[in-house]
Chain A
Amino acid sequence: DIVMTQSPATLSLSPGERATLSCRASQSVSSNYLSWYQQRPGQAPRLLIYGGSTRATGIPARFSGSGSGTDFTLTISSLQPEDFAVYYCQQDYDLPWTFGQGTKVEIK
């Protein structure tokens, strides 16, 4: 299985700050098969980014994805109150599809 490792586990930031979330794969993953999700408390996850860098429908431009090989990044350029949530990366490059353990972005 491809193990996805996210860091940090928790990110404490203030509204308006920039958030940088990392995701590392245990083996090379085509960026075409790397996605990011946001999960707010009590809600289902929501697709933010697919194909490594393509925003899903309706996702604000402050969210951006980048990376290649084994290292990927989700950047939130200026945190809004509704962005404080848990974020997951996920690969569907190889079966079984796997998720990272999540990064919680909390209000500082």
Chain B
Amino acid sequence: QVQLQESGPGLVKPSQTLSLTCTVSGGSIRSGGYYWSWIRQHPGKGLEWIGYINYSGSTYYNPSLKSRVTMSVDTSKSQFSLKLISVTAADTAVYYCASAALAFDYWGQGTLVTVSS
């Protein structure tokens, strides 16, 4: 069974860059047909899909965040990453990584990122 684990700083200063990594285990990040995704959840709110990357590096970013988002993949480490630039307090959220094949099949446990000085 695929397992995902997010890692990265829990506190980021305003205007700086949020950087998170998701490590995939129990399955191959090189599997075709998987879209490795990032999803966030503002405190007490619903789910917002940020975008995906596949094993070859093809990406799609939600237009709502496209100007600030970059995703990358490192197949040698079974990891994919998220960078969100110019963060503000509105980017404070729990960030999840997830694998999407038939749907968002597997999720990481989530990591809270707080934007504050």
Contacts from A to B (Cβ < 8 Å)? 1, 35, 37, 43-47, 50-51, 54, 56, 88, 90, 92, 95-102
Pick the residue among B48, B108, B110 that contacts A99 (CB under 8 A). B48
Question: How many B residues, CB 8 Å from partner?
Answer: 20
Contact with A along B45-69 (1 / 0, CB 8 A): 0111101000000001011100000
Please determine whether A44 and B107 come into contact, CB atoms closer than 8 angstroms.
yes
Q: Does B16 count as interface, using CB distance less than 8 angstroms? A: no
25 sampled A-B residue pairs with Cβ under 8 A: A1-B63, A35-B102, A35-B104, A37-B104, A44-B107, A45-B96, A46-B107, A47-B103, A47-B105, A47-B106, A50-B103, A50-B105, A51-B103, A90-B47, A90-B104, A95-B60, A96-B60, A96-B62, A97-B100, A99-B46, A99-B47, A99-B48, A100-B46, A101-B46, A102-B46
List B contacts of A37 (CB < 8 A): 47, 104
Closest Cβ–Cβ distance, residue A98 to chain B (whole Å): 7
Residues of chain A contacted by B108 (CB below 8 angstroms): 44
Q: In the complex, A8→B48 CA distance in Å?
A: 20
Contact A44 to B103, CB < 8 A, known contacts A99-B46, A99-B48, A99-B49: no
